[in-house]
Amino acid sequence: MKKLNIALILSILLFPISVFAYSNSVILGGENVGIHIEMPGVMVIGFYKVNGSNSKSNPAIEVGDIITEVNGSKITKIDELTTEIERKIQNDQITLTVDRNGETIKTTLSLSKVDGIYKTGLYVKDSITGLGTISYIDPETKVYGALGHEILESTSGKLVEVKTGSIFESTVTSIRKSSNGTAGEKNADFNFNHIFGNIETNTNHGIFGIYEEDITGETIEVATKDEVKVGNASIYTVLCGKEKTEYEIEITNIQEYNDVKNITFEITDKDLINQTGGIVQGMSGSPIVQNGKIIGAVTHVIIDNPLTGYGIFITTMLENGDKIL
């Protein structure tokens, strides 16, 4: 009898269990938000010549490297980088510690003094600001998901790591329309003082964090992957001010085993086409609804035909949002 109990306990402990905390119903997104991320260091995004010499000649420094220390002192911002260079430069050189895809590398950088100011030859960035759309808010956990894809630094193409971040109020002021070969974009004013929530992680399935405002709005049931069908559906997004509006689309293909491009769709709503020319930047994260359930979120536009785009399954976003708890 004791042996049987031990075997039973072991089988329970070793059995793989997948339990997700997200709810069967969520608050439907569609609202535009400003996005701001502070990086855990200073990212190298390019090089410039100083006295005819280019720091790119240093093979130990690459675009996308995150500078985390100067001569042993930790830094996270550009002004800290500048201060430490001025304080600790020795023989016109500094020692940099950089993070490259999780690997720590130390290298020496030679500087040149121009008009009394030391020049590194490096273009750098310590934060990024943009515009996107909330896909959902889980009313049980207050976890939200937005964008449906990762945020990349535009020059380097590198994933932006999050030290701290926030989503905040934005107001759409105008639309630059898409055309074949060119993606348009939403233009917006930001209210940095009205913060809706934090950003805890930036992944290839979206950005996720905790929504800190009071949650309002009706819940909508979450559809499973096998409920998503070819046919009529709709997206919710903002094209003017803060007004969220429903627009018609047609789902043309479903790719269950693609990582993020699960749903292929075409915009059919004439009002949306007239205003935007198709899918535009800033629309990423707009929730997709079919048969009264949320099924996914807009992620990508097909540049050669901006009436056509891709979406990610909402369950994939919810599973990834659940990981921050």
Residues acting as catalytic residues:
149, 269, 284
What is the SS3 assignment for 215? coil
Residues near 236 by beta carbon (within 8 Å), at least 6 away in sequence: 28, 29, 30, 244, 245, 246, 247, 286, 287, 289
Q: d(Cα 59, Cα 42) in Å, to the nearest integer?
A: 18
DSSP string, 280-302: EET-TT-EEEETTEEEEEEEEE-
Give the whole-angstrom CA distance, residue 252 versus residue 77: 46
Do 248 and 232 form a contact (C-beta atoms < 8 A)? yes
Q: Is 278 left (phi over 0), alpha (psi -120 to 50) or beta?
A: left
- In angstroms, rounded to a whole number, what is the distance separating the alpha carbons of residues 286 and 288? 7
- Separation between Cα atoms, residue 132 and residue 135, nearest integer Å: 10
CB-CB contact of 23 with 222 (8 Å): yes
